[in-house]
């Protein structure tokens, strides 16, 4: 390998592995400065996962792709709907029998 290799990994853009006692909930991490230099490469490296943005070797934020964010919102919405169904199930004793035509 020569010194001109500018892939994200060779540029030191992302660190994989442990960061001491700090819990990092991502497969890859970068400092804000390194991520700022090549944001697109950072997202490409993370794929559908997250990039932990580090400040003094501690996670300060997480960066996810637009697709991953949309999927996260869908899952949250599904969880809220499931909770509503569970709550209303207990109210079934107050239900009124009705046909679709009556609506």
- What is d(CA 51, CA 65) in angstroms, rounded to the nearest whole number? 9
Q: Predicted confidence band at 21 (pLDDT cuts at 50, 70, 90)? A: low
CA quadruple 6, 9, 11, 17: dihedral, nearest 10: 180
Strands, sheet with 28-31, edge to edge from the N-terminal-most edge strand = 28-31, 50-55, 58-64
Tokens of 11: 């540029």
- What is d(CA 1, CA 18) in angstroms, rounded to the nearest whole number? 26
Confidence (pLDDT) at 26: 86
11-15, 19-23, 62-66, 91-95: which is most confident: 62-66
Entry pTM: 0.59
pLDDT above 50 for 65: yes
Other residues' Cβ atoms within 10 Å of the Cβ of residue 95: 8
Confidence (pLDDT) at 2: 43
Listed in order, strand segments (DSSP E) in 23-85 are 28-31, 50-55, 58-64
């Amino acid at each position: 390998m020569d010194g001109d290799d500018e892939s994200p990994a060779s540029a030191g853009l992302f660190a994989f592995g442990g960061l001491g006692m700090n819990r990092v909930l991502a497969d890859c991490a970068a400092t804000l400065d390194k991520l700022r230099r090549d944001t697109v490469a950072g997202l490409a490296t993370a794929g559908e996962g997250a990039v932990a943005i580090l400040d003094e070797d501690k996670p300060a934020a997480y960066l996810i792709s637009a697709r991953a964010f949309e999927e996260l919102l869908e899952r949250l919405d599904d969880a809220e709907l499931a909770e509503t169904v569970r709550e209303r199930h207990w109210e079934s004793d107050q239900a009124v029998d009705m046909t679709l035509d009556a609506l």
